[in-house]
Structure formats: structure tokens, C-alpha cells
Amino acid sequence: MRVPISARSVALDLLNKVTFEDSYANLVMPSLLEEARLNQRDSALAQELAFSTLRWQLTYDFVLNQVSSRPVDEIDASVLNALRMGCHQLLQMRIPPHAALNETVNLIRAAVGEKAVGFANGVLRRVSEKSFEDWIEIAAAKSKSKTEFLSIQYSHPEWIVRALTQVLNADGLGDDVEFLLAANNEPADVNLVALPGRAQVRDFLALGAKQNQFSPYGFSIDSGNPGEIEEVRFGAVRVQDEGSQLAALALSSFRPVVRAEKWLDMCAGPGGKAALLAANAQISGAQLVANEILPHRAKLVSNALSGFPSVELSIRDGKDFGVSQENQFDRIIVDAPCSGLGALRRRPEARWRKSSEDLKTLTQLQFDLLDSAYKALKPGGLLLYVTCSPHLSETVAIIDKAQRVLGVTLLDLTSHLNAEYFHERLPSNRKTVQLYTSRDNTDCMFMAMLTKEA
């Protein structure tokens, strides 16, 4: 039976694509909305239902386990997605309970038939008997540790709660863990960058946009489709988190650019940082090489840099640069593949796709890429290591190992960013930079500036 096109059916479709096809929610949703041709109000509802259900999945699974006659891991996956979405409507939205219950049951009926209707109806009625706060109190009573309770309360796997607690403790911010967990569950504004030389932020501020706190090229809009902005369609403005902007700006602004410098973006996909680097390279007379090993991501880089014909595109393993192009680049950025724990508010499904076991492979790759980049760096050049993760094993541990094994020299990036962009708001007791969503309203970006002694 064909599911009627509605906000709820679009949301369920997205949840099922994430579950069955490992799709990325933020990439799939635009095409689903375009196909459904929903009005603006229903489009907003579909996005709220889908993204918030993904964020709160663990919490809702706890609730469902309290009321269901079978464990959630034995419930049909499509039915489970609909039940989670029903929980969100009942517990965290201003939708009348009878409407939330009836709409969810009808959605399940249309999607899988009558066989699950009675079960779903009974489960959701029991969910609706208590408020969200009541269920959290039950979680507090049943949890065996603070970590387990925070995991349920804020819908993060326990290993992520432990990792974030550890990094905040290392920064003297141990009391902020709940603020960070809560921030990961708040939808982010749509953040954009006006590429220097191609667009001006002030033009958008006059239309109601908000200037970014730190990036001089960044601004945000509360909602809406950025694709409807003319400058976005023509490539002069790009969707990009402020933390990513600051990473690109850190490399290009750390010291004055000498004309004809050669720059490398070693892991350029999907191309956001590369575009900002390309704009600054064009202004300063530098030459940028944008490299990406994966063909589908390399295509995204090519599209992102279509307005910069002077940029050299490369599709190769970043680990090869150290051997084939030793001492060739004046500035290199290694935006290394990582766990993505720093962007959980933008990529809600990411928290369910990684485990602590994945870090062993990731950290080895991160170090190998950094090793290669260090070999490819000219003596006296600048090497920026970046991850969109605050996890200590992906950040300071990599830099400590690079200093010990490779002999890299760590420069004071904190002082530079404080002087240029942060107005002395970054803690000055460290040379590396760790941004926090809860403190800086950016992704939790880590940055370290390195050099090779001349």
C-alpha cells in the first residue's frame, strides 16, 4: 500500500533510509521534500519530526522498553522508527496526544498493514500516560551510574558521554558536560560563509541575517532553504559551520602570504574548507591543490571549486604525498577523517554509527596522514591538523605523538586566533584550540598549527 505523502510520511521515509541504507539525513531530506512538494509549514514539521527523532532515539527506546511487551531490538525496524516518532510528538511537541497517537497509528497501518496496529496503539497509549520529565525521573531511578543516566537523559551512547566528560575535565570544564550534551540536541541555525572577494556579509545583515561571533565572513539565518538565496545558487555564498570557516582562516591568516606559495588541502571532501581557502589563495596569489581519495567526495570537491579554475584537483591517497612530493608545500591542512563527535547537532545519526572500537582505525589513519603531510611540508611551512571531534585520542594524543615521533614543532594557534578572531575569549593556557558547541556555538572543532624547522 502506498503511504500518502505528508509531513509524517516524509519523516518516516527519511528515518527508514537512515536505518536501512545508511543515508545521511541532511543530504537525503532536501530531495525528499522536493519530491513531496510540501508547503513550508509541513516541510518544517517533517524536518522537526525526522531530525529530532534521530537525536532522541536512545531516550525514546528507553521509554518504549518500559511499556512494550517486546524489547525494542525485536520490533520491526520501520515500526520502531514510527513509534520513536510518535514518542517525540507525544513527549516533546505541542501536538494534542490523540492527534499524535492517531496519526502515528495510521502511518504504521499504511506502511506495514494491520498486523502492527494494535501493538502500536497500545504502546503509544502507555507512553502518553506520563510526561517527558516523568520518564526521565524513571530513568534516574533505574540507572546504575551517572553516565548511564546522562546517556538516557540526553540520548548519547555511554561511550560518547564518557569521552566528552573526559575532554571537558582535561580543559577544566567538567561541570559543562550537560550543557554540551544538551547543545548537541538543539538544532543549529543555518550558517553560511560569504567567500572573500565574491560576496559581502553586510549585504545579508541588512536582510535580517546574524553576523557570526568570530568569523568575519560568516553569518546565519534562523531557518529556510539556503538554496533560495541567489548568491548560494551562484557559489559566492556557501553553507558552512563557523568552526570550519575558522579552520580555513587559521591556515591562510597565521602569517602573511608570500605570492606564489603552494597550498595543499589533503582531505578536501566535500569541499567547504577548500572553497574558502581557494578564495583566499586567489586574493593572495597562492596556488591551491585540493585532494580527495574517494571519487564520490572528489566530485563534490570539484563542484565546490567549479568557480576556481586555477585550483588543481587531485584524486589520490593523502598518504602518498609525503613520498612523492617531499618538501613541496608552504601550507597544508589535514582535515582528517574522524568520529564526527563535534558535529552531532548537525548530523544527528552520527552518534549511532560509530563506536569506541572505530577509534583504533581512525587514529592510525589520522597519524599516517599527518606523517605524510609533514614530509610534504617545506621547512618553515605551516601544517594545520583539524578534526571535527573533541575526543582526546583524535586530538591532543595525535599531536603529542607527532611531537614525540616525527619531531614536529607546535605553534601557538590560540594566541593567533585570540588576536585575530576571538577577542581573547579562548583559554590562553594551551597552544592547540578546542572549540565547544556549548561555549562557542560552533561545531567542536580541534585545531593544531605545526611547522617543520628550517
Torsion angle, alpha carbons of 10, 14, 15, 21, to 10 = 150
Residue 202 lies in a domain: yes
Tell whether 117 and 194 lie within a shared domain: no
How many domains in the chain? 2
**Alpha carbons 450 and 326: distance in angstroms, whole number:** 16
**Helix or strand or coil: residue 443?**
coil
Please determine, for residue 1, whether its predicted confidence score (pLDDT) is greater than 60. no
Which of 87, 338, 388, 444 does the annotation list as catalytic? 388
The closest alpha carbon to 182, from 216, 224, 154, 146, belongs to 154
Query: Which CATH number goes with the domain that contains 209?
Result: 3.30.70
267 is catalytic: no
Look at residues 238, 259, 280 and tell me which one is the last residue of a structural domain: 238
Residues 6+ positions from 86 with CB-CB distance below 8 Å: 100, 101, 104, 120, 124, 127
**Alpha carbons 341 and 443: distance in angstroms, whole number:** 9
Least reliable range by pLDDT among 36-50, 255-269, 365-379:
36-50
Residue 204 lies in a domain: yes
Look at residues 133, 168, 196 and tell me which one is the last residue of a structural domain: 133
Question: What pLDDT was estimated at residue 112?
Answer: 87
Tell whether 125 and 21 lie within a shared domain: yes
pLDDT digits (tens, 9 = 90+) for 346-362: 999 999 999 999 999 99
Tell whether 107 and 211 lie within a shared domain: no
Mean pLDDT of 37-64: 95
Residue 292 lies in a domain: no
Least reliable range by pLDDT among 73-77, 222-226, 262-266, 366-370:
222-226
Please determine, for residue 5, whether its predicted confidence score (pLDDT) is greater than 80. no
**Helix or strand or coil: residue 340?**
coil
Could you tell me the pLDDT band of residue 3, with boundaries at 50, 70 and 90?
Answer: very low
Mean pLDDT of 94-103: 94
Query: Which CATH number goes with the domain that contains 62?
Result: 1.10.940.10
The closest alpha carbon to 20, from 65, 94, 64, 77, belongs to 77
Look at residues 104, 133, 162 and tell me which one is the last residue of a structural domain: 133
Amino acid code (one letter) for 216: P
Domain span including residue 233: 187-238
Whole-prediction pTM: 0.93
